[in-house]
């Protein structure tokens, strides 16, 4: 089974959903998300720039969706991003992951099954 995350050649979620979270996650409030990368959307919430409008694409996304991507602020990303799992990452499908992938013409991720070791007789 491959150790590489399927997210490294996807990025659909970063270009499909608004990434919003509590403003307290911003650096000015003691959090990790750089203030200059967010826009206020309510008195208590902010969104990553690029995800607060259409077409959607997070300012932190580098690369081409469906090919090769990475998050330029991965270690500083918000809880919204930290909590979003690729389908089957934890043994369950994620319908939001599948929907984002479908929006870019990418197939839904499939569960990976490890082949049990067979002893020879």
- Over residues 45-82, the pLDDT tens digits come to 999 999 999 999 999 999 999 999 999 999 999 999 99
Q: Is residue 92's pLDDT more than 50?
A: yes
pLDDT of residue 120: 42
Q: Is the pLDDT of residue 18 over 50?
A: yes
User: Does the bond joining 83 to the residue before it have cis omega, within 30 degrees of 0?
Assistant: no
Mean pLDDT of the chain: 91
């Amino acid at each position: 089974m491959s150790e590489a995350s399927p997210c490294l050649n996807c990025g659909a979620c970063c270009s499909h959903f608004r990434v919003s979270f509590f403003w307290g996650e911003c650096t000015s409030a003691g959090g990790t998300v750089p203030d200059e990368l967010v826009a206020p959307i309510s008195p208590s919430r902010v969104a990553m720039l690029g995800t607060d409008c259409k077409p959607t694409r997070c300012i932190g996304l580098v690369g081409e969706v469906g090919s090769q991507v990475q998050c330029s602020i991965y270690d500083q990303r918000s809880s919204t991003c930290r909590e979003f799992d690729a389908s089957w990452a934890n043994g369950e499908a994620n319908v939001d992951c599948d929907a984002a992938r479908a929006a870019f013409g990418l197939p839904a991720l499939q569960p990976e099954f490890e082949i049990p070791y067979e002893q020879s007789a």
